[in-house]
């Protein structure tokens, strides 16, 4: 059995070479993809951490179905600014806004 397999491999050297090359390329692409994904994820995490390195507290709320404005109001923000040990306090609102043309279409 081993002799037959060895004879078959020696008779088809080009096929063996192409198979080995295909396996090597496949492994290289998969490992390259994994390295790239990990590098990209680490870069994103480091940049996110660097963006908020001076933030001690962050309040994030998400609007639900209720009519109330999410987050804190200006009076509460002023109280926070007045606390001892607070260097600065900033309010920020982000969300979606649709812009309509003169016909009222978005």
Would you write out the chain's pLDDT as a tens digit for each of its 106 residues?
889 988 988 899 999 999 999 999 999 999 999 999 999 999 999 998 888 777 777 676 666 655 556 577 788 888 988 988 888 888 877 777 788 888 888 8
First to last CA, the chain: 73
Q: Are 93 and 85 in contact (CB under 8 A)?
A: no
pTM of the model: 0.47
d(CA 55, CA 92) in angstroms, rounded, equals 14
Spatial CA neighbour of 39 closest among 28, 51, 49, 31:
31
Can you state the angle between helices 13-51 and 2-11, rounded to 10 degrees? 80
Residue 42 CB-half CA count within 13 A: 6
């Amino acid at each position: 059995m081993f002799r037959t397999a060895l004879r078959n491999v020696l008779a088809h050297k080009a096929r063996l070479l192409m198979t080995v090359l295909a396996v090597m390329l496949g492994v290289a692409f998969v490992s390259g993809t994994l390295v790239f994904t990990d590098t990209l994820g680490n870069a994103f995490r480091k940049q996110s951490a660097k963006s908020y390195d001076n933030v001690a507290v962050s309040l994030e709320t998400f609007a639900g179905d209720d009519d109330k404005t999410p987050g804190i109001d200006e009076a509460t923000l002023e109280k926070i600014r007045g606390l001892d040990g607070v260097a600065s306090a900033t309010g920020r609102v982000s969300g979606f806004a649709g812009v309509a043309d003169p016909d009222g279409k978005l």
